[in-house]
Amino acid sequence: MHYENTKSHLAHIFTIYIENIGDSMQDGLDRIDRHMLEILQRNGRMPVVELAERVALSATACQRRLKKLEDSGVIQRYAAILDPVALGQQIHAFVRVSIERQSQDVTEAFERAIRERPEVRACYVMTGDLDFLLQVCTPDLQAFAEFSMKVLIGLPGVKDVRSSLVLEAIKQDQGYALPP
């Protein structure tokens, strides 16, 4: 009982991100696993007992499946999804970055520097005519300009930076479509 309550409280605190469902685990996801994941993506705070009721399992069986999903890496971590505007992060931008030459040393130096920048919420290596796509949040336009013109331009290997400010978010879904 204590273990279920502990897991239940943990589920109350956090929301689930589900990423990188590997082919081997994807084949092992049955209808109940997928249903659990769909529910938890919408409400990661749901107590295990309630989740069990929603998927028609006993709390023990539900807990066992939840542990399997965590241990296999389908559920990577639990996290609270915060409102950036409520935290004073008013400016949201996508920044396209091209680097001078695509050597391993230059790329690794750029990636190390980006990992240290709190303004950068996400960084993706891209195909096509750009090398990296950054998602950046700052408190105001002045902070964004300073980051873009002073910090970003000075990072190792940066050749070109192009920014697009977000005017309105039409969709910001944290969940993933699950295989049938």
Confidence at residue 94, expressed as pLDDT on a 0 to 100 scale:
98
**Mean pLDDT throughout 162-173?**
92
Asked whether residue 106 is domain-assigned, the answer is yes
- Condensed to tens digits (0 to 9), the pLDDT of residues 5-14 reads 433 333 333 3
- Is 158 in the same domain as 117? yes
Asked whether residue 172 is domain-assigned, the answer is no
Confidence at residue 127, expressed as pLDDT on a 0 to 100 scale:
93
pLDDT of 145 > 60? The answer is yes
- Is 36 in the same domain as 95? no
* Residue where a domain stops, chosen among 15, 48, 79: 79
- Token pair listed for 172: 């910001």
- Is 50 in the same domain as 107? no
Give the domain CATH number at 12. 1.10.10.10
Confidence at residue 8, expressed as pLDDT on a 0 to 100 scale:
39
Asked whether residue 86 is domain-assigned, the answer is no
Give the domain extent around 61: 2-79
Asked whether residue 176 is domain-assigned, the answer is no
Confidence at residue 3, expressed as pLDDT on a 0 to 100 scale:
40
Asked whether residue 117 is domain-assigned, the answer is yes
Asked whether residue 170 is domain-assigned, the answer is no
| Residue 18, phi then psi, degrees to nearest 5 | -120, 120
d(CA 2, CA 42): 25
- Is 143 in the same domain as 120? yes
Of these ranges, 15-19, 116-120, 156-160, the one predicted with the greatest mean pLDDT is 116-120
Asked whether residue 61 is domain-assigned, the answer is yes
- Is 102 in the same domain as 158? yes
Q: Give me the number of domains the chain comprises.
A: 2
- Is 68 in the same domain as 112? no
Asked whether residue 178 is domain-assigned, the answer is no
Confidence at residue 25, expressed as pLDDT on a 0 to 100 scale:
52
- Condensed to tens digits (0 to 9), the pLDDT of residues 63-98 reads 999 999 999 999 998 888 888 889 999 999 999 999
- Condensed to tens digits (0 to 9), the pLDDT of residues 32-46 reads 999 999 999 988 989
Confidence at residue 9, expressed as pLDDT on a 0 to 100 scale:
36
DSSP string, 33-78: HHHHHHHHHH-TT--HHHHHHHTT--HHHHHHHHHHHHHTTSEEEE
- Condensed to tens digits (0 to 9), the pLDDT of residues 95-128 reads 999 998 778 898 999 999 999 999 999 999 999 9
CB 101 within 8 A of CB 135: no
Confidence at residue 24, expressed as pLDDT on a 0 to 100 scale:
42
* Residue where a domain stops, chosen among 32, 49, 79: 79
* Residue where a domain stops, chosen among 79, 104, 128: 79
